[in-house]
Amino acid sequence: MTTARVLIRCPDRTGIIARVSGFLADRGLNILDADQHTDSGRFFMRVEFDAGGGAMPPENERAEVERAFADDVAGPMSMDAFFRWPGRVKRIAVLAGPSLHCAADLLWRVSTGELRCEVTRVISNHEAAGDLAARFGLRFDHLPVTPETKSRQEQQIMALLDEDRRGGGLDLIVLARYMQILSAGFVNAHPAGIINIHHSFLPAFAGARPYHQAFDRGVKLIGATSHYATADLDEGPIIAQQTARVSHRDTVDDLVRKGRDLERTVLAEAVRLHLDDRVLVEGRKTVVFE
């Protein structure tokens, strides 16, 4: 069985599910799973279907299905539709910072097959990430940065990512505690294509030393947030969040340890959801089909 997907968003109206399912049925494309959601007059849907009984459909057949869907369904219903065909392994680039727990966890999950993707390279402004990349047999690019060289360093990163894109495609950029603010130009060039992990349950305790802020306030919950990066710092659409209970007995070190565990799992969850085409962005929000 060869599973394909189509993601849909459009104004809500009667008959959308019937039109989509009828289109696929008329072409002998059996629906394997379907999920839908409506919100404020908008309709969202994710459909998995058998695309060809074991063989990857030829490119011309895939293109014909997409053209026919656009003419028969998407156009008349003012619909955005995104087809995802099997056969190509998705590719991600990892930007790592000085704290390597998120990058190490992510690369381990890829190496074990838990995350189904290929890592094109690891980029960091810290040399320590090189040893981590070497452990997994990955290309490492060390690009130091200072306030004076920040713009030039970002251009170097963009050139490397363009190289990946030309060399087989690039589906996602992951900021694994990269801790550098990206320019609006960089972020806007990759809409819903950069995932960041924030060491806080946004919007609380944003900024520097969040666990120390939490400790000083005597919080009973700490959290982590993974979201798409946008030009508005830490304001991008949220994909995944988790919390952990803490108490007055916990030290700052305890909060840091628990927080890092959350960061690892929340970032991996967001990447998995993205790779599995389970996220649709709608304005400042996401619809996540779990």
Query: In a 3-state reduction of DSSP, which class is residue 130?
Result: helix
Q: Which two tokens stand for residue 188?
A: 């806007």
Query: In a 3-state reduction of DSSP, which class is residue 187?
Result: helix
Q: Which two tokens stand for residue 162?
A: 């363009």
Question: Which residues are the active-site residues?
Answer: 234
**Beta 42-50 vs 3-11: how paired, if at all?**
antiparallel
Amino acid (1-letter code) at residue 29: L
What contacts 1, CB < 8 A, 6 or more positions away? 32, 50, 53, 54
E strands, the chain, in order: 3-11, 31-39, 42-50, 80-84, 91-96, 118-124, 140-142, 172-176, 194-198, 221-228, 238-245, 279-282, 285-288
- Distance (Å, rounded) from C-alpha 173 to C-alpha 90? 11
Asked whether 224 and 266 are in contact (CB, 8 A), the reply is: yes
Query: In a 3-state reduction of DSSP, which class is residue 10?
Result: strand
